[in-house]
Amino acid sequence: RRPPLNLIETGGGLKVQTTTPHLVGLGSGRLSVAITLMPLNEGVTRIGREDASVPQDITIEGLGIEAEHCRIINRGGVITLHPSGNLCSLDGVHVSKPTLLTQGFTLCLGKSYFFRFNHPEEARRMKSMQPQKSPVATMGYSSGRDRSLSRTTLKTTLLLLFLYISQSYCYSPLFIPFPLHEEPPEVPSAERPPSSRGLPYMTSSSMPPSPRQGERPL
């Protein structure tokens, strides 16, 4: 019994969907123009040539293809490739022993016959495990123009911050509002407030030297 296929028109193309694990035949060379979908039903699927002593479920021809080239076994949705000692590779890596097939593998039999392995149920599980994209990340730097605007905004912000810090430093309490060569104004003696506790008033001679006075020119 063949699994049901859904044909969906998508604009100018056709989309084929099935729930059964399957191989998509990509042909054996540049002259291959057909795309073949081959279901991998529960049990054993034999792949080989038409002249094999045992009838093959999938028959192919090409360089390096043996009469009984390999088997693919489906056990409860777990798909395994059995090379049977013949030339097989997965994603360009040679395999010589039973190997688990997973969604998206590229299978090459012989030297030039390519398939893509699809496992719809496994693909759905893999998609459900992927983290959801954040709206902020989606709205972020999606183009070169957005990245350029972001860099310009960052440079402007840094420049404004630098100017703000510079002005804050100039008007800080450490800023001296008069030239260093001029002596700061003294408070007249008549305006000096009397000592409320009877402590002697410290004259300028008894005061410690000011750092500014040491900087006056001779």
Percent of the chain at pLDDT exceeding 70: 60
Mean pLDDT across 52-64: 94
Give residue-wise pLDDT tens across range 148-162. 667 777 777 777 777
Asked if 201 contacts 195 with a C-beta cutoff of 8 angstroms, the reply is yes
- Identify the top-confidence range among 4-8, 14-18, 191-195: 14-18
187 φ/ψ sector (left φ>0, alpha ψ -120 to 50, else beta): beta
Among 12-16, 34-38, 213-217, the least confident range? 213-217
pLDDT of 75 higher than 90: yes
Answer with the residue of higher pLDDT: 89 or 3.
89
pLDDT of 33 higher than 60: yes
- pLDDT category at 147 given cuts 50, 70, 90 is low
Q: Give the pLDDT confidence score for residue 36 in this predicted structure.
A: 84
Answer with the residue of higher pLDDT: 8 or 11.
11
Q: Which of 55, 53, 51, 79 is nearest to 65 (CA)?
A: 51
Give residue-wise pLDDT tens across range 76-122. 999 999 999 999 999 999 999 999 999 999 999 999 899 999 999 99
Mean pLDDT across 126-138: 71
Mean pLDDT across 14-26: 84
Answer with the residue of higher pLDDT: 127 or 57.
57
Domains of the chain, earliest start first: 6-129 (2.60.200.20)
Give residue-wise pLDDT tens across range 170-217. 555 544 454 555 555 565 555 555 555 555 555 555 555 555 555 555
Q: Give the pLDDT confidence score for residue 64 in this predicted structure.
A: 93
Among 22-36, 123-137, 195-209, the least confident range? 195-209
Instruction: Give the total residue count for the chain.
Output: 218
Mean pLDDT across 45-59: 96
From residue 64, alpha-carbon distances to 48, 102, 106, 110 in Å are 11, 24, 17, 4
Q: Give the pLDDT confidence score for residue 218 in this predicted structure.
A: 47
